[in-house]
Structure 1
């Protein structure tokens, strides 16, 4: 069972925008470029990089994807903050 994970994310207000970002990623767009352009989270300035964090440190819906979702593919997650496009880089 992983204790830590590292992830990138893009936070937007609307599901449609998040879905559009996922489509752009599937067509080859760079995650860090889209994060800087669209993300309302301060991490957007760093290309969406959240760094490494421990299990339980993030809100439950986000945590679940980071610790059980497939790595290196974009996931759509709804939290109290809005819609996230999450890419889990690795788990340790």
Structure 2
């Protein structure tokens, strides 16, 4: 079982914006560009890059997706902070 992962994310307040961003990604937009433009998280300045982190470091819903969801497929996950578009790069 994976103990660490590396992910990118874009955090927004509204589901409609998250869905719009996901549509843009699916049409070929660059994740990093959209993160810089839309993300309310400080990581947005780095293209949404959260670096590598350990299991249990993120809020439950985020953690659950990163450690069990699809790799490299941007997906919307809701947490107490808002709507995240998460792209898991790898798990180790």
Taking the aligned partners of 2:21 and 2:86, their CA distance within structure 1 comes to: 11
The question of 1:16 aligning with 2:16 is answered yes
Deviation string, structure 1 residues 39-85 (Cα, Å, up to 9, x no partner): 00000000000000000000000000000000001111100100000
Matches within 5 A, 1:1-92: 1-92=1-92
Alpha-carbon offset, residue 86 of structure 1: 0.2
Q: Which runs of 5+ in 1 are unaligned?
A: none
Alpha-carbon offset, residue 38 of structure 1: 0.1
Q: Which runs of 5+ in 2 are unaligned?
A: none
TM-score by length of 2: 0.99
Deviation string, structure 1 residues 13-57 (Cα, Å, up to 9, x no partner): 000100110000000000000000000000000000000000000
Taking the aligned partners of 1:76 and 1:40, their CA distance within structure 2 comes to: 15
Taking the aligned partners of 1:75 and 1:4, their CA distance within structure 2 comes to: 19
Taking the aligned partners of 1:3 and 1:23, their CA distance within structure 2 comes to: 31
Q: RMSD across aligned C-alpha pairs, in angstroms?
A: 0.3
